[in-house]
Structure 1
């Protein structure tokens, strides 16, 4: 069941889309502002974003620009404006598709399914596989035995650093330096807390980890060879 975030300040429009797409076997989360939407996107895994251009705080173009600094999540932009230049700008800054209002919900569904199919193919080809564990960098998604693992954005980034240095011991200082964009998270022993939470999601037995190993007095290492 695809998880879709809708950033739309028009409550009636948002509710209509939520009801319609939920009826098409999609999990829908709605948000009325760009700032709150960006927070959700950094902390929760989604399969696609439906993004209105006209938001009350920052416009959809700015949301799209910021999303593209940390994710390749599929974006379908909506606008009440019919200016062709808006469509060009949206696509140039990273939107996958663009739909002017008013629109037929069936057309939106068709476009949404199309970009989900395209990105699913891309993500499958770029996936990193370690035994039963799969990491999809573009989608910010992790799967164990085919089931999606629920990690926060910070935890995904921490796991990604370890994976990208698989077989190499990373000290806490090195990990915090690699995650310096998360200043509020990276301090003292917070790395240990997040490692423990990640293990709780990806290890068969978190007390006897086989994927993220502790090197006593040094740091952590992501094991290359796994079941």
Structure 2
């Protein structure tokens, strides 16, 4: 995968971002590729153009250009190459670009360090996409940047073609509850459909249980909560996403961490 990605997907019922005018251009610096894919998809529906990079040095190269065009930086703390704190320290030498730091390191000392270095906000992981969007709007308002408005409904009579997700022999038109597999049409629940879309868009990359619970179930993962595991098990069984599936990807459990949909059956996790 390239070190940075631009919007190419369409959200359910919303045309692709490149067919409309983006209202904000945002850079995400985070080595969690699965999270980046999910944010690209979610923010596309808000007409936000999101570019992602996975290491600190690439971020530094992009941000050092005076005409980089970004209105907001989403910055993880723990990164390959250099830390988010290092990036923020260098950025603040000559730039007032708004920054929201995102990290699983939610200690008070880390939050204070980020804010004292010049971060505009600090969001602990895992987080819900709605909370992130609300914080983005607030930071941009405070800094006089672009207002991230509610995305408009598509105009009547101009229904876009549904997005078709494809991983191996598994195809899913990401607008309904039915999936076509070799055995015929399988009907999913709404939660299973959300899970499948997230996993297919991040195929080949593990997604943590906490983040997946927030995005698919809409709530934080609680101790002893096995709801996500049950939904994943049902999805695996319904679609036959097992290690011996013929041509279909495999939906794997990464013990104690999360889930992974392999791009091809038998691929290494």
TM bin, normalised by shorter chain, reads 0.5 to 0.7
Q: Distance in 2 between matches of 1:41 and 1:22?
A: 22
Residue 84 in structure 1 maps to residue 108 in structure 2: yes
1:33 to 55, 59, 73: 55
Residue 15 in structure 1 maps to residue 30 in structure 2: no
Higher helix share: 1
Give the equivalent residue in structure 2 for 1:5.
27
2:135 to 96, 104, 111: 111
Give the equivalent residue in structure 1 for 2:121.
97
Q: How many residues align?
A: 121
Alpha-carbon offset, residue 94 of structure 1:
0.3
| Unmatched segments (≥5 aa) in structure 2 | 1-22, 146-269
Alpha-carbon offset, residue 42 of structure 1:
1.8
Which stretch of structure 1 is more off in the superposition, 108-117 or 12-21? Answer: 12-21
SS at match of 1:45: coil
Give the equivalent residue in structure 1 for 2:186.
none
SS at match of 2:28: strand
Give the equivalent residue in structure 2 for 1:62.
86
Alpha-carbon offset, residue 70 of structure 1:
1.6
Q: Distance in 2 between matches of 1:40 and 1:10?
A: 19
Stretches of 4+ aligned residues off by more than 3 angstroms: none
Give the equivalent residue in structure 2 for 1:204.
none
Alpha-carbon offset, residue 25 of structure 1:
0.9
Paired residues for 1:45-60 under 5 Å: 45-60=69-84
Q: TM-score, normalised by structure 2?
A: 0.44
Q: Distance in 1 between matches of 2:35 and 2:108?
A: 22
